Amino acid sequence: MDSTNFSDLERRLDSHYGPDDFSVLKKAYDFAKIAHEGQLRATGEPYFVHCFSVGLKLADLKLPSNVIAAGLLHDVPEDTTFTTEDIEKEFGPDIGSMVAAITKLGHVKYRGEQRYIENLRKMFVAMAEDVRVVFIKFADRMHNMETLYALPEHKRLRIAKEVLEIYAPIANRLGMGEYRGLFEDYAFKYIEPKEYGWTKHLLEERVKKFGPSLDRAMKHVSNELHRHSVGYVDIHGRVKHCYSLYRKLDKYKNDMSKVYDIVAMRVVVKDITDCYAVLGILHGIYTPLPGRIKDYIAQPKPNGYQSLHTTVFDESGSILEFQIRTQAMHEESEYGVAAHWRYKQGGTREERNVAWMEELARIQKELSANDFMAHLNELKLDMFRDRIFVFTPKGDVIDLPEDSTPIDMAYAIHTEIGNKVAQAKINGEIASLDRALKSGDMCELIIDKNRKSPNKDWLKFVKTRHARSKIRAALHGAQHGLLSSLWGKVKR
Ligand code: MN
């Protein structure tokens, strides 16, 4: 980056920010600049370049000025003669507490596996206490990834792995699709340079080949929407992230012809009615591929993602994916939880998104550090595995990790249902209790009221920690653990 003028930051801020915002930002800007005076980064640039970049990224997320200010100041206590108390005295308790939290997050003294677990634990705790701190940490780590080339190789690899294993999954869980994609791509580049280069090349070829037909489709769609008097906010193309393509190709044994969404077209409109109107218009001009219409508006993905997807043949016979969404859904899918914090100074917490974080904080508080460490691997598996939605016959939605079985579902609903389940029907047909459920399945659980206890063979195939610990508890007739009872609540 060449310039760190305050005006570069000002220019990123829209009319939602007022004079008070600008004055706190200018003050933080001056303070950080002076505090880091004379320090250099591994890239040879002044240290303040890093602080400023973090501030810009937070401004791009449209976060409140206090968060941007804390971002500008985030390395002051760690790297300068000023302390967190100095920050608090100058900037007040809100900014002070964010800077203190980010400083705490930075101290990790372990190596290897221990380091990894400790890092993860700290991220959970910070996230649960104040999710804004995680946004700052993300912006901080993103700029470090952008400048990772300047570090020695062993450090590059360690940081890249940490980003892939900790930062990207948390970004995903927070619904921050853009951050997740960028984190994964930066990490991929350093961890698997060969595969990265090869995938990137594939992507570039695809974009070159499809560029002209995309431009044509964009004009065509825009004209048709106009003709039907359906207004749109934006139509743009989006290219799949490298790592996400790599994973998908892996799944399809490198058969490119099975991956339809390498380049996709996004239509952003003002409300949900228009989303369906656009879908109808698209299907009027292009032939849709059977089985490729997905209504994530009526049935959102577990991380909250909403859009309509359809894959069509365009006039030239090329396959093209469309994603149709409202502006709010678009922001939600790019920025997730961060979207709820837009412009909100201090703001109230969004219930739906932080419920599971608060549970985590409680679990963390009530367990000693050692217990937490011991349970973490299982917790983490439940947290980060991709989630599926399964329906009960009444239409309730149960959120489960991928590959969960009817037994996992039963325990997610209620321990007594788990202990007494005798049979399962998936989409109306009797299925074995170890069958892996898929998103959208309707699963009916048949209860045997006389059943005394679960079958110990279930332990061989259940996928969730929750079900496993409940089965063990029932078999041992023992008091079930605190952790599992809390974790059960997180799921619903
Ligand atoms: Mn930093």
User: Mean pLDDT throughout 225-254?
Assistant: 91
Distances (CA, A) of 280 to 209, 299, 359, 473: 27, 18, 42, 52
**pLDDT value for 481:** 43
- Residue 216, Cβ neighbours under 10 Å: how many? 14
Q: Is the pLDDT of residue 487 over 60?
A: no
197 alpha carbon – ligand 1 mean position (Å)? 28
24 alpha carbon – ligand 1 mean position (Å)? 20
281 alpha carbon – ligand 1 mean position (Å)? 48
Residue type, 464: T
What's the CA gap between 447 and 414, in Å, rounded? 12
The beta-carbon contacts of 33-36 under 8 Å, at least 24 apart in sequence, are 33/4, 35/76, 35/80, 35/81, 35/82, 36/75, 36/76, 36/79, 36/80
Cα angle value 320/323/326 (rounded, 5°): 155
**Of how many residues is the chain composed?**
492
User: Mean pLDDT throughout 349-355?
Assistant: 44
Question: Using CA of residue 446, residue 448, residue 449, residue 455, what is the dihedral sign?
Answer: negative
Q: Which two tokens stand for residue 61?
A: 């997320």
Query: pLDDT category, 261, cuts 50, 70, 90?
Result: confident
Which residues pair with residue 236 across a beta bridge?
266
DSSP letter for each residue of 100-141: HHHHHHH-----HHHHHHHHHHHHHHHHHH-HHHHHHHHHHH
DSSP letter for each residue of 184-213: HHHHHHHHSHHHHHHHHHHHHHHHHHHHHH
- Residue 259, Cβ neighbours under 10 Å: how many? 18
The CATH H-level superfamily of 6-176 is Hypothetical protein af1432 (1.10.3210.10)
Q: Is the pLDDT of residue 430 over 60?
A: yes
363 alpha carbon – ligand 1 mean position (Å)? 29
* Cβ–Cβ < 8 Å for 263, 285: no
Q: Which two tokens stand for residue 98?
A: 């964010």
What does the mean pLDDT of the chain come to?
Answer: 84
Q: Considering 20, 30, 78, 315, which one is annotated as catalytic?
A: 78
Q: Which two tokens stand for residue 27?
A: 């003050």
What's the CA gap between 423 and 415, in Å, rounded? 16
Q: Which two tokens stand for residue 173?
A: 């869980």
* Cβ–Cβ < 8 Å for 62, 343: yes
45 alpha carbon – ligand 1 mean position (Å)? 14
What's the CA gap between 77 and 57, in Å, rounded? 21
Chain centroid to CA 487: how far? 20
Query: pLDDT category, 154, cuts 50, 70, 90?
Result: confident
What's the CA gap between 439 and 304, in Å, rounded? 14
Just give the CATH number of 386-491. Answer: 3.10.20.30
Query: pLDDT category, 263, cuts 50, 70, 90?
Result: confident
74 alpha carbon – ligand 1 mean position (Å)? 6
User: Mean pLDDT throughout 446-453?
Assistant: 90
Give, to the nearest 10 degrees, the angle between helix 19-35 and helix 84-106: 80
Q: Is the pLDDT of residue 489 over 80?
A: no
359 alpha carbon – ligand 1 mean position (Å)? 28
Q: Is the pLDDT of residue 294 over 70?
A: yes
User: Mean pLDDT throughout 98-127?
Assistant: 72
Query: pLDDT category, 488, cuts 50, 70, 90?
Result: very low
**pLDDT value for 117:** 66
73 alpha carbon – ligand 1 mean position (Å)? 9
Distances (CA, A) of 153 to 50, 160, 191: 20, 10, 11
Phi, psi of 265 (to 5 degrees): -110, 135
Nearest CA among 477, 470, 489, 432 for reference residue 452: 477
**pLDDT value for 65:** 94
302 alpha carbon – ligand 1 mean position (Å)? 32
Task: Scan for tokens 């009916």, then name that residue.
Answer: 444
**pLDDT value for 329:** 92
- Spatial CB neighbours of 334, under 8 Å, sequence gap ≥ 6: 176, 177, 178
142 alpha carbon – ligand 1 mean position (Å)? 10
Distances (CA, A) of 450 to 11, 292, 420, 454: 69, 44, 8, 12
Pick from 14-28, 103-117, 155-169, 321-335: least confident: 103-117
Give, to the nearest 10 degrees, the angle between helix 193-227 and helix 177-191: 150
The domain spans of the chain are 6-176, 194-335, 386-491
113 alpha carbon – ligand 1 mean position (Å)? 23
What's the CA gap between 355 and 114, in Å, rounded? 27
Read off the pTM: 0.73
pLDDT in tens, 359-399: 555 555 555 555 655 565 555 555 555 667 788 887 777 77
103 alpha carbon – ligand 1 mean position (Å)? 9
78 alpha carbon – ligand 1 mean position (Å)? 9
Q: Which two tokens stand for residue 218?
A: 């964009």
Task: Scan for tokens 């743009």, then name that residue.
Answer: 236
71 alpha carbon – ligand 1 mean position (Å)? 9
pLDDT in tens, 132-148: 888 999 999 999 999 99
| % pLDDT > 90, the chain | 51
Q: Is 294 exposed, middle or buried (0-12, 13-18, 19+ CB in 10 A)?
A: middle
84 alpha carbon – ligand 1 mean position (Å)? 15
78 in active site:
yes
What's the CA gap between 95 and 247, in Å, rounded? 39
* Cβ–Cβ < 8 Å for 175, 303: yes
SS3 assignment, position 435: coil
Pick from 172-186, 361-375, 380-394, 470-484: least confident: 361-375
Q: Is the pLDDT of residue 223 over 90?
A: yes
Distances (CA, A) of 322 to 17, 176, 205, 238, 282: 34, 20, 20, 10, 9
**pLDDT value for 478:** 44
- Residue 434, Cβ neighbours under 10 Å: how many? 15
Q: Is the pLDDT of residue 480 over 50?
A: no
90 alpha carbon – ligand 1 mean position (Å)? 20
Which residues pair with residue 431 across a beta bridge?
424
Q: Which two tokens stand for residue 467?
A: 């079900």
Q: Is the pLDDT of residue 194 over 70?
A: yes
User: Mean pLDDT throughout 116-129?
Assistant: 69
Q: Which residue would you say has higher pLDDT here, 391 or 74?
A: 74
User: Mean pLDDT throughout 299-305?
Assistant: 77
Q: Which residue would you say has higher pLDDT here, 455 or 120?
A: 455
**pLDDT value for 300:** 82
* Cβ–Cβ < 8 Å for 279, 222: no
What's the CA gap between 223 and 217, in Å, rounded? 10
* Cβ–Cβ < 8 Å for 323, 307: yes
Q: Which CATH number fits domain 194-335: 3.30.460.10, 2.60.40.10, 3.40.50.300, 3.40.50.1100?
A: 3.30.460.10
Q: Considering 45, 79, 378, 403, which one is annotated as catalytic?
A: 79
Q: Is the pLDDT of residue 314 over 80?
A: yes
The DSSP symbol for 407 reads H
Chain centroid to CA 147: how far? 23
Question: Using CA of residue 169, residue 175, residue 181, residue 183, what is the dihedral sign?
Answer: negative
